[in-house]
Amino acid sequence: MTDADSEPNNATRKMDISSILTPSGVIPALRSGAKKAVLEELAEKAAEVTGRDASEIFSVLLDREKLGSTGVGGGVAIPHGKLNDLDRLYMVFARAQNPIEFDAVDEHPVDLFCMLIAPEEAGADHLKALARISRLLRNQGMCDKLRGAGSADAIYALLTQDEAEQAA
């Protein structure tokens, strides 16, 4: 009882986006126009930043989608999954010029993709990162800004801006 009242909740403790996303992990304009192709493109980008095999990442993401779409509504999807022997969490952010059918919960097509890939043994950190992303993209203003941002760097700056402010 006292623990809960006095200590901050574990899950709300900060998980910085800047620690899992680099500017090179941002795709400002996806080439693909269909769900699977998007996942492939995300997996390729993830392969670049992690140095792992793209097909391996793709199959992890696809397995997750088979359980239920990660399209969370409002044009946002958060594909995610776990990979053996990964050194840490990695995020890839992608934006589509034309929204893509993704079987999202609200049936609306998706144009903002935030992919998260985690080591098999990452328990709490994985959830913390998902929660952080989910909260961030729940913010309609943030989504509008991301849609309007000019470049990959601008998108990266938006995603990490409040962290930068806090650090300053």
Partner 1 sequence: MIDSMNLVILIASILVIVAVFTSLVSFRVGAPLLLVFLFVGLGAGEDGIGGIDFDNAPLAYFIGSIALALILFDSGFETQRRTLKIAAAPSLVLATFGVMITTGVIGAITWLVLGVPWLVALLFGAIVSSTDAAAVFFLLRVGGINLRDRTRSTLEVESGSNDPMAVFLTISLVELIVLGGGDNVAFELLQRFVLQIGLGAIFGLAGGYALVQMINRVKLEPGLVPIITMACALSLFGATSILGGSGFLAVYVAGLYAGNSNMKMSVGVRRFQHVTTWLAQIAMFVTLGLLATPSEFGAVIIPGVILALVLVFVARPVAVWLCLMFFNFSRNDTAFISWVGLRGAVSILLAIVPMVEGVPEGQLLFNTAFIVVITSLLLQGWTIRRMARWLGIIVPPRHGPVDRIDLELPGNANQEVVIYRVHDASAVATGQRIPRWARPSLILRDGTSLRPHSAGPIQGGDQVYIITPPRHVELLDQLFAGPAEGANDVELFGDFSFPATTQIADIGRLYGFAVAEDDIDLTVADILERDLSDTLELGDRIAYGTVELIVRRTDDEHGVTDVGLAVEQQIAKPKRNIPIFQSRSELLSIWKDWQKRRRDEKNAALQIGSTSKADQQGILDAAHDDDNDTQHDLGATDKTVGTDPDANSDPDTPADDGKRA
User: Which residues are near partner 1 by CB under 8 A?
Assistant: 1, 3-5, 9-12, 64, 67-70, 72-74, 78, 81-82, 105-107, 121-124, 126-127, 130-131, 134, 138
User: Are the CB atoms for 99 and 108 separated by under 8 Å?
Assistant: yes
CB closer to partner 1, 141 vs 150:
141
Provide the minimum distance between the beta carbon of 47 and partner 1 in the complex, in angstroms, as a whole number.
21
First to last CA, the chain: 35
* Annotation marks residue 108 as catalytic: no
CB closer to partner 1, 33 vs 123:
123
Provide the minimum distance between the beta carbon of 85 and partner 1 in the complex, in angstroms, as a whole number.
15
CB closer to partner 1, 31 vs 138:
138
Burial 24-40 (b: 16+ CB within 10 A, else e): ebbbbebebeebeebbb
Q: Within 10 A of 128 (CB to CB), how many other CB atoms are there?
A: 18
Provide the minimum distance between the beta carbon of 147 and partner 1 in the complex, in angstroms, as a whole number.
18
Q: Please return the burial class of 20, using the count of CB atoms within 10 Å of its CB with bins 0-12, 13-18 and 19+.
A: buried
CB closer to partner 1, 105 vs 164:
105
Provide the minimum distance between the beta carbon of 165 and partner 1 in the complex, in angstroms, as a whole number.
23
User: Are the CB atoms for 88 and 20 separated by under 8 Å?
Assistant: yes
Q: Residue 89 corresponds to which tokens in the numbers above?
A: 């969490």
Catalytic residues: 80
